[in-house]
Amino acid sequence: MTDKIIIRQLETNAIIGIHDWEKQQTQPLLFDLDLSFDCRQAAQTDHIEDALDYFEVCRQVTDFVQTSRFELIEKLAQEVANLILKNFSCKKVKLTLFKPQAVENTQSVGISIIRKA
């Protein structure tokens, strides 16, 4: 399947990390999402009910991340991918999570995962 919804640089804040200071304050996270699904029905009907609603994906991911408390970005990435696969008609998720404030002398660190339904 080659159809994808592409979401770039979805920004939200979370409490995440192993250091004491990271457990006390939120920090920004950025998500890139490639969501594989068959868009032919939506293209034919022009109805949101037949589409993968990217607005709702962004809302649910943002809500989940803002209320989460994880130490590792690996765990957060896995849980966000699970959320998307469970709640949307998506067959495969490629998720890249960036944590810009993780290491002082880097622009960002991150992780990229691929999960299938």
Does residue 49 carry a pLDDT above 80? yes
Q: Percentage of the chain with pLDDT > 70?
A: 99
Closest CA to 76 of 91, 90, 61: 61
Q: How confident is the model at residue 61 (pLDDT cuts 50, 70, 90)?
A: very high
Q: Where are the alpha helices (H) located in 1-117, listed in sequence order?
A: 40-45, 54-67, 73-87
Domains in the chain with CATH codes: 4-102 (3.30.1130.10)
**What mean pLDDT is predicted for residues 28-37?**
97
Closest CA to 97 of 33, 23, 21: 33
Does residue 2 carry a pLDDT above 70? yes
Does residue 17 carry a pLDDT above 80? yes
Residue 24 has what DSSP assignment?
T
Q: Which residues are catalytic?
A: 99
Does residue 1 carry a pLDDT above 80? no
Give the predicted TM-score (pTM) of the model: 0.93
